């Protein structure tokens, strides 16, 4: 599961963490060997879950922008997703998560419509002790680099 908008739900008195962990516990999946990976684009909710559970966690990372919980902290936290995927950032992520989940172009960039050479992100994540889970791989032409698009099958 991916937690959606955890800072917002926290702000209206409906935190997601305890109900999520209760459902996992009820089904025998609130442990590190469960067939579950809890994912989030925010950081603080994953850190909160880590304090309560050993379930595997994935820090999702977008190619631009900032985690919303960082934005909500204002000037106290100006870090961006790019800061989370530096070697030092990955070490910090490894303190609470089991994996990093980058968008595909952070691993294999696209240049001139074709996939380029892989970045060092996977090796750097592994060096920090993190697995890597790419998110949203879609084979539809709208989501493919120009060099990989194909005519529709009729």
pLDDT in tens for each of the 154 residues of the chain? Answer: 999 999 999 999 999 999 999 999 999 999 999 999 999 999 999 999 999 999 999 999 999 999 999 999 999 999 999 999 999 999 999 999 999 999 999 999 988 888 899 999 999 999 999 999 999 887 787 877 787 888 877 7
Would you state the pLDDT for residue 115? 87
Instruction: Return d(Cα 65, Cα 35) in angstroms, integer.
Output: 30
Q: 3-state class of 60 per DSSP?
A: strand
Burial class, 36, CB count within 10 angstroms (exposed 0-12 / middle 13-18 / buried 19+): middle
Would you state the pLDDT for residue 111? 86
Would you state the pLDDT for residue 72? 93
User: From residue 120, how far is each of 87, 91, 125, 128 by CA, in Å?
Assistant: 10, 15, 9, 12
Q: 3-state class of 106 per DSSP?
A: helix
Would you state the pLDDT for residue 154? 74
């Amino acid at each position: 599961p991916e937690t959606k908008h955890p800072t917002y739900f926290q702000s209206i008195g409906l935190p997601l963490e305890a109900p999520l962990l209760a459902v996992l516990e009820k089904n025998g999946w609130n442990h590190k060997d469960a067939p579950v990976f809890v994912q989030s684009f925010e950081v603080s909710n994953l850190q909160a879950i880590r304090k309560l559970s050993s379930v595997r966690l994935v820090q999702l990372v977008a190619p631009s922008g900032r985690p919303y919980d960082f934005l909500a902290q204002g000037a106290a936290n100006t870090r961006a997703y790019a800061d989370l995927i530096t070697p030092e950032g990955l070490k910090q992520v490894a303190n609470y998560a089991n994996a990093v989940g980058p968008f595909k172009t952070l691993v294999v960039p696209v240049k001139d419509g074709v996939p380029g050479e892989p970045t060092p992100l996977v090796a750097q994540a592994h060096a920090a002790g993190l697995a890597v889970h790419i998110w949203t791989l879609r084979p539809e032409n709208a989501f493919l680099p120009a060099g990989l698009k194909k005519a529709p099958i009729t």
